[in-house]
């Protein structure tokens, strides 16, 4: 038997992939412009919506172009020295840096260069490395997956701001959960991030999902459509449902039940743990309301619209709810309403 083409692992570029072409093209064409007006993009969306896969794909696409150098940084580390070290692991770049007399021995990187005194300031070192990259008509893309408002991130962002001011060819593609990116943007000195373009990842294309299920699972049109609806365009659910339908052919109900349990355990528990007590209360009321009418949800909560709106907005931005029409909210993730009800009972 062929092996299951779907994956249950986060961050793994899946075999069965639904392209987000429009959103990816927008970023790539922004970054590739002769005189780019946007050197930065913040990609947000709920856990499991596909942020890691999305930026990995963009990085791979740019890596194929000869003028791009790609560096992926870990946000949990000291970012500036890590960037210098990574640039120094490329043979060609090391040669350029040596020719430019950039001596990084003070950071324990590289070799001594005759007649070039060691640089002691990491920002200065990076500026000179970037100038050298610029001189060779290259561009640097830095990706940072799952950025948070940490001290390291803020240090990196303020240095990055200086690189931009110096008109150096350095681009930043960053992902994060909505509230994390928001905190970083609101931190002191991060105003330039406020103006930075954002990409809120859209749900996967419905007909593309139907097509994938038809082709991989050998189910009929009706079943493929039913399964596609069940995913709600949520990337992780697309993989999970595909996976279990592959494992349990002709046992749709079992496959869907297993999918639901899997989503609960490996995505929703984590998402729930990041919601405030008030957010959970609002979700519980929304889960009790069949229609999703805001007036009804407010009645359950006994909230005025002024009280309710900030929660609504935040839960929509976080990707838990969506607003299919004015006055209505729905759950954006499959079975999250049931999960909310069960979880609320358990918390009581």
Ligand X SMILES: Nc1ncnc2c1ncn2[C@@H]1O[C@H](COP(=O)(O)OP(=O)(O)O)[C@@H](O)[C@H]1O
The three-state secondary structure class of 54 is helix
Q: Could you tell me the smallest distance in angstroms from the CB atom of residue 314 to ligand X?
A: 18
Binding window for ligand X (CB under 6 A); candidates: 44-52, 166-174, 185-193, 330-338? 44-52
> Which one of 4, 7, 72, 105 is in contact with ligand X (CB under 6 A)?
7
Q: Which residue's C-beta sits nearest to ligand X?
A: 50
Residue with smaller CB distance to ligand X, 15 or 162: 15
Burial of 4 (0-12, 13-18, 19+ CB in 10 A): middle
Residue of 40, 45, 268, 294 that binds ligand X (CB under 6 A): 45
| Cβ-based nearer residue to ligand X, 6 or 163 | 6
* CB of residue 114 to ligand X, shortest distance in Å: 46
CB 193 within 8 A of CB 157: yes
Stretch that binds ligand X, among 42-50, 76-84, 85-93, 189-197 (CB under 6 A): 42-50
Q: Which CB sits closer to Mg ion, 143 or 289?
A: 143
Q: Give the rounded distance of the alpha carbon of 237 from its chain centre.
A: 16
Residues 178-237 binding ligand X (CB under 6 A) are 204, 235-236
Nearer to Mg ion, 27 or 126 (CB): 27
Interface ranges with Mg ion (CB under 5 A): 52
Q: Which stretch binds ligand X (CB under 6 A): 3-11, 191-199, 301-309, 314-322?
A: 3-11
Q: Kindly state the tokens that stand for 50.
A: 């596909």
Q: How far apart are CA 76 and CA 2, in angstroms?
A: 39
Minimum CB distance to ligand X, residue 211 (Å): 12
CB of 59 to ligand X, least distance (A): 13
Query: Is there a contact between 30 and 61 (Cβ–Cβ < 8 Å)?
Result: no
Distance in Å, CB of 245 to ligand X, minimum? 15
Stretch that binds ligand X, among 6-14, 91-99, 248-256, 309-317 (CB under 6 A): 6-14
Question: In whole angstroms, what separates CA 78 from the centre of its chain?
Answer: 21
Q: Smaller CB distance to Mg ion: residue 202 or 305?
A: 202
Q: Which does 235 bind (CB under 5 to 8 A by kind): ligand X, Mg ion, none?
A: ligand X
- Tokens 């690189």: give the residue: 163
Nearer CB in complex with Mg ion: 13/189: 13
Cβ pair 82, 73 in contact under 8 A: yes
**Residues in contact with ligand X, shown as a per-residue x/- string from 11 to 40 under the rule CB under 6 A:** xx-x--xx-x--------------------
Tell whether residue 307 is a contact of ligand X (CB under 6 A).
Answer: no
Report in angstroms the alpha-carbon separations of 268 from 94, 255, 277, 292: 45, 18, 15, 20
State which of residues 31, 42, 44, 51 lies at the interface with ligand X (CB under 6 A).
51
- Cα(18)–Cα(126) distance, rounded to whole angstroms? 37
In contact, 119 and 106? CB cutoff 8 Å: yes
Among 149, 231, 239, 340, binds ligand X (CB under 6 A): 239
Q: What are phi and psi of 230, to 5 degrees?
A: -60, -30
Q: Dump strand ranges (E) for the chain.
A: 40-44, 68-73, 139-144, 170-176, 198-200, 321-322, 330-331
CB 274 within 8 A of CB 43: no
Contact call for residue 47 and ligand X (CB under 6 A)? yes
The structure tokens 């399964």 sit at: 227
CB neighbour class for 205 (10 Å; exposed up to 12, middle 13-18, buried from 19)? middle
Taking CB under 6 A as the criterion, which residues in 324-343 touch ligand X? none
- In the complex, the smallest distance separating the C-beta of residue 174 from ligand X, rounded to whole angstroms, is 12
Torsion of CA 63, 69, 70, 73, to 10 degrees: 170
Which residue number is nearest to Mg ion in terms of Cβ? 52
Distance CA 44, CA 148 (A): 12
Residues that bind ligand X (CB under 6 A): 7, 9-12, 14, 17-18, 20, 45, 47-53, 204, 235-236, 238-239
């Amino acid at each position: 038997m062929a092996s299951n083409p779907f994956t249950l692992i986060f961050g793994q570029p899946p075999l069965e992939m639904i392209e987000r072409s429009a959103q990816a093209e927008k970023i790539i064409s922004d970054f590739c412009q002769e005189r780019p007006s946007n050197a930065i993009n913040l990609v947000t969306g709920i856990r499991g919506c596909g942020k890691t896969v999305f930026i990995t794909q963009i990085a791979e696409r740019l890596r194929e172009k000869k003028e791009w150098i790609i560096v992926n940084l870990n946000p949990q580390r000291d970012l500036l020295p890590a960037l210098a070290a990574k640039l120094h692991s490329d043979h060609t770049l090391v040669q350029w840096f040596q020719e430019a007399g950039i001596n990084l021995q003070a950071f324990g990187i590289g070799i001594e260069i005759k007649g070039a005194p060691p640089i002691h300031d990491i920002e200065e070192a990076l500026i000179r490395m970037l100038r050298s990259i610029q001189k060779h008509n290259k561009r640097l893309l830095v990706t940072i997956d799952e950025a948070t408002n940490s001290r390291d991130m803020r240090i990196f962002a303020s240095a990055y701001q200086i690189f931009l001011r110096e008109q150096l060819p350095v681009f930043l593609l960053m992902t994060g959960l909505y509230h994390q990116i928001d905190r970083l943007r609101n931190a002191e000195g991060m105003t330039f991030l406020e103006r930075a373009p954002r990409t809120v990842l859209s749900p996967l294309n419905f007909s593309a999902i139907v097509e994938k299920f038809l082709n991989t699972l050998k189910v009929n049109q009706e079943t493929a459509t039913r399964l596609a609806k069940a995913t709600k365009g949520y990337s992780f659910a697309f993989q999970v449902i595909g996976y279990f339908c592959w494992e349990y052919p002709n046992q749709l109900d079992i496959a869907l039940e297993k999918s639901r349990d899997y989503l609960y355990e490996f995505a929703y528990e984590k998402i729930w743990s990041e919601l405030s007590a008030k957010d959970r209360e609002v979700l519980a009321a929304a889960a009790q309301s069949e229609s999703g009418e805001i007036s009804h949800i407010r009645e359950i909560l006994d909230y005025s619209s002024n009280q309710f709106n900030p929660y609504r907005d935040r839960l929509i931005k976080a990707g838990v709810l969506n607003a299919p029409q004015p006055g209505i909210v729905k759950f954006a993730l499959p079975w999250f309403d049931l999960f909310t009800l069960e979880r609320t009972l358990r918390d009581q």
